[in-house]
Chains A and B, each alone.
Chain A
Amino acid sequence: MKTALRFAALVLLAALLAACARDVREEPPAPEPPPPPPPPVEVERLDARDFSDPRNLDNPDSLLSQRTIYFEFDRSNVRAQFRPIIDAHATYIQANPSARVILEGHTDERGSREYNLGLGERRGNSVQELLVAAGVSARQIEVVSFGEERPVCRESNEDCWQRNRRTEIVYTAR
């Protein structure tokens, strides 16, 4: 339970950091010899909170680069701290009609595999419902459950399990 809380706190912290990280971004990477000169004007203009901008999908400072929603055991409701991530993607998908996402639902390894397929789908559906409620067209979304078949962590302990109980937002078209 303690680790679960710590994990949740970390996720929350990461979300907060990402939201305000724009100001601390200019650190030069020390060992790289000549820093690649990107068009400076454009860097200035990339607003990590502009969730309609495709560049933010790859911008680690933007919420759009976060694509994983975590769940509690045997639950499929989205916890409040993950709502900002889902809202950011809702904005993006609405602003980019060609965007297509697969919501991959996953569970931890406990219990039967087929039941977990159902549970993984519920987790995908929960995220889908929030996206649709925010105005996204259901035609841009597909839910695919992998149940417990695609863990990101393979040890049999709660630390691993909470990383495996997730919905991944996978862009098949941006």
Chain B
Amino acid sequence: MPGLILLVLLAFPLLASAQLRIEIVDGVEGAMPIAVVPFAWDSDLPEPATGVAEIISANLARSGLFEPMAEAQMIEQPVRPPEVRFGTWRLLRVDHLVIGRVVDSPDGIGQEIEYHLLDVHSGRILLSQALSVSPGDLRFGAHRVSDAVYESLIGVPGAFATRMAYVVVSDIGGDDELFELVVADADGFNPQTVVRNTQPILSPAWSPDGRRLAYVSFATGRSNVIVQDLFTGQTEIVSSSRGINGAPAFSPDGQRLAVSLSQGGSPDVWLIDLSNGRRQQLTHHWSINTEPAWSPDGERIYFTSDRAGRPQVHVMDADGGNLQRVTFDGRYNAGVSIGLEERFLAVVHSEGDNDFRIAIFDRENERMRVLSDGRLDESPSFAPNGSMLLYAARENGRGVLAAVSADGRIRQRLVASEGDVREPAWSPMIR
């Protein structure tokens, strides 16, 4: 690998970080009543303090589309479908029921979550599955069950078994700050610091397999694009050219990284082949060309350019050809994140110079819909199922994360106990 420096950290130390607490700001009217009955624990391993059912309930509640019943109201706690007396649950005005148990895996490694989703009104079993989970992976198993329940009842895949990356900045005395790149489960649990530095870290981007993160680090005093393996901790400086090295985005096949480099005098979008370091310049313009984002099929790249005077979203083929302007609505549209099927583009949108909000541009009817109401909102990142957007906002002088559903009806705040939280990036589906 010519030109690539390889730094291997032995025994990659993932440090626990402060956890984000997710609060629901707005839900939908008529959220679906559901009961997730505590799962039986038929395992030799010690039972965790937070049960599988509790995690599933919290996930469904957080989505804003469900209204899970409190455990105290469950006058019966069936484990298997034959034990369910539907009349009881109809009286309790519940539409659906999730029951199950945790057992040791038949092969002796890890556990299995057996679960059933039942329609209380028809008495039918909608889902009946056994999901094997690796040792220590029970929380993630509960997220997968949540995904299956969500998909069965809502019709689109859930995005609970995903993670998020974000940057936490804390004051460490004097004028010094500590920048930490953190990865946590989508429900805020299990936060781990991937890298920390007193110089800025920004723009985390996930590889399509969820194994690696690309980001921009100023650790050397200048911007570098880094790719880090989350499992081994192996770190590679992918770009450290003169000028800006920024805005990394993995191609959908994971083979290439789109970046913004200013080695030619002004920022242009380039491709870097991760197997051999070979580079290809895609834009050639004196303006700022940055924030590349791939179409899901890898055929096109969306990006921000102010070649027309102010920053606007443009699109080009992945070889740089066929360049077109996409957004015309408002003075400022930047930081694009691509939703499902490339129809919906989330952007940082401004009509003037003082209010920067998250908007979704619908390419089909060419409409821009403002979804957030802050003054300094930025960094929109779609969930892999396109249902929600994570973004960064400022609240009482602090950086916070927020989430909003693509239709604007459901809102969440992700609150950290301390520090400035910014630069969220929602992971792809983790298999």
Contacts and interface: CB of A to CB of B under 8 A. Distances in A.
Contacts of B348: 111-112
A114 B350 contact: no
A149 B378 contact: no
Contact of B221 (A110, A118, A144): A144
Interface string A139-167: 00011111101100011100000000000
Task: Label chain A's interface by main secondary structure.
Answer: mixed
Interface in B253-294: 260, 262, 265-267, 288, 290-291
B376 A118 contact: no
Contacts of A149: 200, 202, 218
12 contacts: A111-B332, A111-B350, A112-B291, A112-B334, A112-B348, A112-B378, A112-B379, A115-B291, A115-B304, A117-B260, A121-B243, A156-B376
Interface in B326-362: 332, 334-335, 348, 350, 353-354, 356
A33 to B, nearest CB: 30
Contacts of A119: 288
Contacts of A111: 311, 332, 334, 348, 350, 356, 378
A118 B334 contact: no
Nearest to A142: B242
Interface string B110-151: 000000000000000000000000000000000000000000
Interface of B: 200, 202-203, 218, 221-223, 242-244, 246-247, 260, 262, 265-267, 288, 290-291, 304, 306, 310-311, 332, 334-335, 348, 350, 353-354, 356, 375-376, 378-379, 394, 397, 423
Contacts of B290: 114-115, 117-118
B262 A118 contact: yes
B200 A114 contact: no
Contacts of A154: 397
B416 to A, nearest CB: 17
Interface in A100-138: 109-115, 117-119, 121-122, 125
A73 interface: yes
Contacts of A114: 202-203, 246-247, 260, 290-291, 304, 334-335
Contacts of A109: 376
